[in-house]
Amino acid sequence: MDRRNLIIGGAAVAAAVAAGGWYFTQMYGGQSQAPSGDGGERDYIPPEELATAGPLGDMVMGDANAPVTIVEYASLTCGHCAAFHKDKLPTLKSEYIDTGKAKLVFREFPFDPVATAAFMVARCADKDRYFPLVSALFELQKVWAFSEKPVEGLQKVAQQAGFTQESFGACLQNQAVLDGVNAVKDRASKQFGVSSTPTFFVNGNIVRGNVPIEEFREKIDSALAAS
């Protein structure tokens, strides 16, 4: 079954998540594999190309004027992405983001209807709750994403961010939000060659997978020196 053909509308997402069982992520080598795009693998993307935000705008952690930009493409049902956010992001945030040396641009690259629905919920939340909600979804990933009834688990997490049953349901039926999430993924796949998560671009230089913290530091420090 082609994952790309499953996400065809807001109602389809809601139905897919409610049905459960459509979780296909394949794990390998610190990354999670997604369908290949048309752009091919690229090790460097000019920062000006990466700077274009999707229809819903970019979600940015840190100083907008920081000299180093880290663009992350992730799926909320990706175990390696969850590990990065739990084990490495706090260190990078303390050393680079909170000190004004770098900013993180977090972008959606969902593999399946469950991840798509989770991103939709995050986008429907108040902006100041976006990153806390994403963190909670990664932290509790095994509870909701891997369950037989992921919609119920997702709704419970969303309720902690202020969603009601009505606003949660309305969000999953919101075609504009769905189209915005899919547009980010499609551009990354077709133009930047993103085919696995997590994928990072540090001032345009690619980092594939949840690599050791030392590799992140090396890439960021090199970008800082060059800037």
Domains and CATH numbers, the chain: 3-226 (3.40.30.10)
At residue 36, the pLDDT reads 40
At residue 14, the pLDDT reads 57
At residue 15, the pLDDT reads 54
- Counting as low any pLDDT under 70, the low residues of the chain are 1-41
At residue 13, the pLDDT reads 55
Return the CA Rg of the chain. Answer: 17
Rounded to two decimals, the pTM is 0.86
